[in-house]
Amino acid sequence: MEFFKIRFGNDLDELSSKFEKTLEDMLGISPSFTLSERAWRPPMDMYETPTEIVIRAEIGGVDREDLEVEISSKAVRIQGKRLAPASDSSCTYRLAEIQYGRFERILFLPNPIDPDKVSAAAKNGLLEIRLVKRPMDQTYKVPISSE
| CA–CA distance, 1 with 97 (Å, rounded to integer) | 37
Is 22 part of a structural domain of the chain?
Answer: no
| CATH number, domain containing residue 131 | 2.60.40.790
User: How far is Cα 112 from Cα 48, in angstroms, rounded to an integer?
Assistant: 12
Residue 13 CB burial class (10 angstroms; 0-12, 13-18, ≥19): exposed
In a domain, residue 1? The reply is no
b/e burial code for range 64-78 (CB count within 10 A of at least 16 → b):
eeebebebeeeebeb
Mean pLDDT of 116-120: 90
Please indicate, yes or no, if residue 94 is contained in any of the structural domains.
Answer: no
pLDDT digits (tens, 9 = 90+) for 73-117: 789 999 999 998 888 888 888 888 889 999 999 999 999 998 888
User: Considering the domain boundaries, does residue 132 fall inside one?
Assistant: yes
Confidence category of residue 25, pLDDT binned at 50, 70, 90: low
Q: Is residue 90 part of a domain?
A: no
User: How far is C-alpha 82 from the geometric centre of its chain's CA atoms?
Assistant: 12
Is residue 66 one of the residues assigned to a domain? Answer: yes
The dihedral of CA 24, 25, 27, 28: what is its sign? Answer: positive
> What would the pLDDT profile of 29-74 be if each residue is shown by its tens digit?
555 444 444 588 999 999 999 999 999 999 999 999 999 999 987 8
Entry pTM: 0.66
The parent domain of residue 46 ranges over 37-83+101-137
β-partners of residue 71 are 76
